[in-house]
Amino acid sequence: MTRFIYIIRELLRNLYRNPGTALGSLLSMTLLLLLLDLFWIAAGTSEKFYEGLVADLTMEIYLSESLSDTDLIDLSHEIEQLAIVNTVRYISKEEARRLLASQIGTDLLIGYDSLNPLPQSFLLTFKPGRLSLTELIAVEEQLLTMTGVDETEYSREWLEKVERTKGIILKVGLGLGLIIMLAALISLTNGIRVMTRARAVGFRQMLLQGASRSFVALPFLIEGFLMGGLSATFSWLVILYGSEKITFSRISIVYPTRYDIIDFCIVCAVLGLISGYLGIRKLLKV
Amino acid sequence: MADPIVELTNITYKNDAGGTVFKNLNLTLPVGRSAIITGSAGSGKTTLADLLVGRRFADSGTVKLFGKEMRKRKKRLIRQVRQKIGGVGGRFDLLPLLTVADNITLPLIITCARSKLRKERLRRALTEFSLLNQAALYPRFLTRVENMMVQLARATVANQPLIIIDEPLAGLDVKTYQRVLDYFIKVALSGRSMILLTAEPPQVTIPETDSFEIANGALL
């Protein structure tokens, strides 16, 4: 029996002698990680939803009456230079009136044919994927320092609410994620501890014969590694199976990429390895 | 001149309750010589074995095995020293989940001995200790004598230069007693060292062996 065969036999012996505990640990880990996967998907989906919402955001810049055509062209160029600005469209007083009429109807404007209090303005759109409230505020501050800009208007309060909600989702997701990971770690650690408790005598003897701690612990580290990796893989298989069976028409669900999932499974396997060490640590003292 | 295989100098050791177990205990065992250490129950024989294998550490004094000082922090050294010690009785049980054959070859597995050597040594040990029929059994199916024979086989399979034997003769029938003693004589003559820790000294003289008695925490 070589060292390698010994280690594999120890690993299999542990699973063979404690199938219930091993299966219990695997299932509880899978369920916990499934929960974590769902939070991950929820966070990604909410992020995408937020991006979709702000992609249509526009900002109106009301201009002073006194600007000449040359001033307007210069100001337009200056605004186009701002990093997050995508397009700048000029809206004259007449066009503003037409737009208003198209929104509220012409009946309310009867008697105001010769009077047009609406200012001329620029309508800005922003580059997709680069928008945040902080950046918008910075742009707004820059715009207000430019000559000829009287006022700006955009859905600031709405955006603040959306960002706050997104922040809460992210914080709760992170907090719950940490708790779930910790619970998974403890669950697997306890599983391995239960499985190895009865074998303390054997471990002591191995160490007294001159075996290294790593030699004694290796089967259980491998076991933890496999359990962690398998649990993560199973949890994603359940999710992917579910995603094929259940479709959402109103919301587009965002799943992590294949590489992210592989990374996640590796992280879980390493977590399992740590659990294996924690589970057997106390039995390695002679 | 080679370093003594065991060298204990001015060992003082107190147990967990604070009672003195050893006080200025000294023992020097040159290579190839053995020692029979007798002492009543509770005199510290197993504690002495623990000090020798690095399971406990002296409060003061030095414990040297194979010329190397055993210290708590020297994990690697302790491991290497343990690989050179064969243990029987006391702390040195068999691994319950390994068969007799696997238990015997364990010291060779730990030291990564080659497959051919392992098989050869295993066959020799099984024959020498009349364990051929028990090779595939687990320790729970062995008698007490068979269990001890397996431990003896394990303690010699890797040609360990030092064998520590804790209470080897207690409760043995006459035939087994004689067989075990014959084996001890054989080991003593083979140039290996042995430390026999026992309440009752053997009734025959073992060559190349000094006798000591633990009394009042020292060796007399």
Question: Which tokens in the block code for residue A71?
Answer: 């001033």
From chain B, the residues in CB contact with A204 under 8 A are: 91
Between CA B153 and CA A170 the distance in angstroms is: 63
> What ipTM score was computed for the predicted complex, to two decimals?
0.86
Inform me whether the pLDDT recorded for A118 exceeds 80.
Answer: yes
- pLDDT 10s digits, B190-210: 888 999 998 888 877 888 888
Q: Using beta carbons and an 8 Å cutoff, which residues of A are at the interface with B? A: 1-3, 6, 13, 199, 201-202, 204-213, 215, 286
Q: Does B68 touch chain A (CB under 8 A)?
A: no
Q: Does B93 touch chain A (CB under 8 A)?
A: yes
CATH of the domain at A88: 3.30.70.3040
Q: Based on the domain organization, do A174 and A280 belong to the same domain?
A: yes
Q: Does B55 touch chain A (CB under 8 A)?
A: yes
SS (H, E, C) chain B: CCCCCEEEEEEEEECCCCCEEEEEEEEEECCCCEEEEECCCCCCHHHHHHHHCCCCCCCEEEEEECCEECCCCCHHHHHHHHHCEEEEECCECCCCCCCHHHHHHHHHHHCCCCHHHHHHHHHHHHHHCCCHHHCCCCHHHCCHHHHHHHHHHHHHHCCCCEEEEECCCCCCCHHHHHHHHHHHHHHHHCCCEEEEEECCCCCCCCCCEEEEEEECCEEC
pLDDT above 70: percentage of residues in chain B: 100
Give the mean model confidence (pLDDT) for residues A203-226: 88
Q: What integer pLDDT is reported at residue B153 of this predicted model?
A: 92
Q: Based on the domain organization, do A127 and A227 belong to the same domain?
A: no
Inform me whether the pLDDT recorded for A263 exceeds 90.
Answer: yes
Give the mean model confidence (pLDDT) for residues A84-113: 82
> Cβ contact (<8 Å) for B109 and A204?
no
> Cβ contact (<8 Å) for A211 and B110?
yes
Which of A3, A13, A201 lies nearest to residue B112, judging by beta carbons?
A: A3
Q: Based on the domain organization, do A225 and A139 belong to the same domain?
A: no
Q: Based on the domain organization, do A33 and A13 belong to the same domain?
A: yes
Strand-pairing partners, residue B197, are B37, B166
pLDDT confidence tier of residue B53, bands split at 50, 70 and 90:
very high
Which residue of chain B is at minimal alpha-carbon distance from A13? B97
Inform me whether the pLDDT recorded for B161 exceeds 80.
Answer: yes
- The number of distinct structural domains making up chain A is 2
> Cβ contact (<8 Å) for A202 and B96?
yes
> Cβ contact (<8 Å) for B112 and A215?
no
Q: What integer pLDDT is reported at residue A245 of this predicted model?
A: 85
- pLDDT 10s digits, B80-115: 999 999 998 888 889 888 899 999 999 998 888 888
Lowest-confidence region among A51-55, A177-181, A212-216, A277-281: A51-55
Q: What integer pLDDT is reported at residue A105 of this predicted model?
A: 79
Q: Based on the domain organization, do A76 and A134 belong to the same domain?
A: yes
Q: Based on the domain organization, do A259 and A138 belong to the same domain?
A: no
Give the mean model confidence (pLDDT) for residues A51-62: 84
pLDDT confidence tier of residue B79, bands split at 50, 70 and 90:
very high
Inform me whether the pLDDT recorded for A261 exceeds 80.
Answer: yes
> Cβ contact (<8 Å) for B79 and A215?
no
Q: Based on the domain organization, do A33 and A166 belong to the same domain?
A: yes
Give the mean model confidence (pLDDT) for residues A255-261: 93
Domain hosting A75: range is: 58-154
A69 φ/ψ angles, rounded to the nearest 5 degrees:
-60, -40
Give the mean model confidence (pLDDT) for residues A94-108: 82
Q: Among A154, A177, A199, where does a domain finish? A: A154
Q: What integer pLDDT is reported at residue A14 of this predicted model?
A: 75
Q: What integer pLDDT is reported at residue A284 of this predicted model?
A: 79
Q: Based on the domain organization, do A99 and A201 belong to the same domain?
A: no
Q: Does B111 touch chain A (CB under 8 A)?
A: yes
Q: What integer pLDDT is reported at residue A286 of this predicted model?
A: 62
Could you tell me which residue, B58 or A169, shows the higher pLDDT?
A: B58
pLDDT above 90: percentage of residues in chain B: 44
Q: What integer pLDDT is reported at residue B121 of this predicted model?
A: 93
Inform me whether the pLDDT recorded for A161 exceeds 90.
Answer: no
Q: Among A112, A137, A154, where does a domain finish? A: A154
Lowest-confidence region among A1-15, A253-267, B105-119: A1-15
Q: Based on the domain organization, do A167 and A45 belong to the same domain?
A: yes
Q: Among A154, A182, A199, where does a domain finish? A: A154
Q: Based on the domain organization, do A96 and A232 belong to the same domain?
A: no
Q: A227 to chain B nearest CA, in Å?
A: 23
Mean pLDDT computed over every residue of chain A: 85
Q: How far, CA to CA in Å, does B37 sit from each of B29, B54, B213? A: 12, 19, 5
From chain A, the residues in CB contact with B154 under 8 A are: 209
CB B35 within 8 A of CB B212: yes
Q: Which one of A4, A13, A205, A209 would you mutate to disrupt binding with B, by most B Cβ within 10 Å of its Cβ?
A: A209
Inform me whether the pLDDT recorded for B137 exceeds 90.
Answer: yes
Q: What integer pLDDT is reported at residue A235 of this predicted model?
A: 95
pLDDT confidence tier of residue A130, bands split at 50, 70 and 90:
low
Between CA A264 and CA A256 the distance in angstroms is: 10
Q: Based on the domain organization, do A140 and A71 belong to the same domain?
A: yes
Q: Based on the domain organization, do A29 and A110 belong to the same domain?
A: no
